[in-house]
Amino acid sequence: MAHKVLRTLLLAILALALFCSAVQAVTLTVTVKDYESGSYLSGASVYVSGTYVGKTGSSGTFDYSHSLKSDFTLRVTKSGYEDWSDVIDYDDTSVTVRLEPDTVDLEVTVYDADTVQPISGIRVTVTAKGSGSVESERTNSAGKAVFDVDASETYTVAIDADDYESLEREVDMDGESRSVQFWLYPAGRFAFKVLDAQDHSPIAGAEISVGGTVKGVTGSEGTLATVLDQGRSYQVKVTHTSYQEYLQEVYVGEDAVVTDIFLKKATYPVFISVFDEETRPVEGAAVTVDGASAGVTDRYGRLSLGQMVGGSHTVAVKADGYTSWEGTCTPAATGADLAVELAYVPVSLSVLTENADHAALSGVSIGVNGASQGVTAADGRLALSLKPGTYNISGSREGYLTAYADRTLAVGSSGESAILTLKPEGPAPIVVGAAALLLVVLLLAGVVVTRRIRMAGRRRRPGQKSF
């Protein structure tokens, strides 16, 4: 009996041991480090047989617990590093992964700030902030230098070239290739700032010459940068269409970088003369300059615009009966007399043709000063548009005598009208005259014959026969 109980107990212990053995878990500690520096890497992603299982913590480790009974593939990835993978024994409890930094391209392009042209042969140095590694390259003909760098690093780019100011910038690679561009400013850079003498506002478009050489024109801020030797004087000339010329000797000090130049506005007398299409003066034409009223022209079509500031100005002219005019005026030291020709506004002329009974007559050909303008419509009308002036209007139609009318179309007229009454054509005058003469002759002949007959009757005696 005791032997039987002991056997049952042994079987139970064996079964329990087998069960515990079946469910016992293994913990694999994954430690991730930088291949070069040996520093621990946090945020590295861990995959087991292609399945994501977690990330390393601040200590660069990750614990993976499993109950696998066969070897498996472990893969570790991190931005800025090359992927790592290997086959791990199922009963391993630790593994150290060293990730090699992924390399990317850092392309540096250098331009001259004044000419905007690439600079070749310039030495460019890049220094890794983390590892302290240093690389140098010279720019090629396109002004480029290319470096193979760690994708996760931050680099200091330094450029030091003769005749240029030194430059230093930081570039964070952020796990991908970068292309950066830099201006190099010539050493001895000096700027002129051109301002209005009255309100100190910046003057754009001012041309600056130094020592007889044109350096360029000022931008919207009134400045122009150039390269000058410090500690010497230069003859500087500044010109602008709206300002008096500036010509002075300017000293560039050892520590000077900019100098202000003040310009006074230049004014010139300007007159305007306004004529019509026949070159006759237009009196009372309203003139505006840059949107402000300047007055009206006199009987000679003239108006003084006073002293105008040099530069381009918009001038507009309006007068009743004329098309408005707008143009530009650029006063200069030689003076200016602006001549403006105003075109007439056409005047409407309504022509009505009728017969002798004053009924509308259509199909009448209308002429103006002998030139055909068209034919009247069913209502006997034809609308014309003519320049101001005096015209002879004619209307003709077969079977009617041509009718005429004179009309003067005044400048600024709201419209005129003309009525042409056409009379029917009669017999030709020569035919009528001939017929009348023939009738008179016949009448006279009849009278003569009648008289002779009567006289013959009186001479005949009684009983006398006539032969």
> What is the helix, strand, coil percentage profile of the chain, to 5?
10, 50, 40
Q: For residue 401, tell me if it sits in a domain.
A: yes
Q: Is residue 9 part of a domain?
A: no
Sheet with 144-150: list strands edge to edge: 144-150, 103-112, 178-184
pLDDT computed for residue 466 by the predictor:
42
Note whether 352 and 416 are same-domain residues. yes
Q: Give the Cβ contact number of residue 93 at 10 Å.
A: 10
337/352 same-domain check: no
pLDDT tens per residue, range 316-334: 999 999 999 999 988 876 6
The CB-side HSE value for 36 (13 A sphere, CA atoms) comes to: 13
Render pLDDT for 358-388 as a digit per residue (tens, 0 to 9): 999 999 999 999 999 999 999 999 999 999 9
Q: Which of 62, 80, 99 finishes a domain?
A: 99
Instruction: Based on the fold, state whether residues 302 and 254 are members of the same structural domain.
Output: no
Residue that is last in its domain, among 184, 216, 233: 184
Separation between Cα atoms, residue 345 and residue 367, nearest integer Å: 21
328 shares a domain with 274: yes
Which domain does 302 fall in, by range? 267-341
The beta strand positions in 38-133, using DSSP E, are 45-48, 51-55, 61-66, 72-77, 84-88, 94-99, 103-112, 123-128
Residue 378 domain flag: yes
**CB 126 within 8 Å of CB 135:** yes
Domain assignment present for residue 14? The answer is: no
| pLDDT beneath 50, residues of the chain | 19-22, 428-432, 464-467
Query: Would you give the distance in Å from CA 52 to the centre of its chain?
Result: 55
Residue 222 lies in a domain: yes
Answer yes or no: do 355 and 376 share one domain.
yes
Q: What is the pLDDT of residues 84-121, one digit of tens each?
A: 999 999 999 999 999 988 788 999 999 998 788 999 99
Please indicate, yes or no, whether residues 79 and 108 belong to a single structural domain of this protein: no
Same domain for 57 and 73, yes or no, is yes
Question: Are residue 78 and residue 149 in the same domain, yes or no?
Answer: no
Judge if 175 and 109 occupy the same domain.
yes
CATH code where residue 331 lies: 2.60.40.10
| Inside any domain, residue 136 | yes
Residue 73, domain CATH: 2.60.40.1120
Do 95 and 37 lie in one domain? The reply is: yes
| Residue 33 neighbours by CB distance under 10 Å | 17
Do 159 and 199 fall into the same domain? no
Of 87, 145, 95, nearest to 120 by C-alpha is 145
Q: Does some domain include residue 280?
A: yes
Q: Left (φ > 0), alpha (ψ -120 to 50) or beta: where does 145 sit?
A: beta
The token duo for 343 is: 């075109």
* Separation between Cα atoms, residue 404 and residue 418, nearest integer Å: 10
pLDDT of residue 20: 47
Same domain for 296 and 361, yes or no, is no
**Final residue belonging to a domain, choices 99, 134, 163:** 99
CB 188 within 8 A of CB 229: yes
The tally of domains found in the chain comes to: 5
Q: Is residue 18 part of a domain?
A: no
Assigned token pair, 280: 């006759």
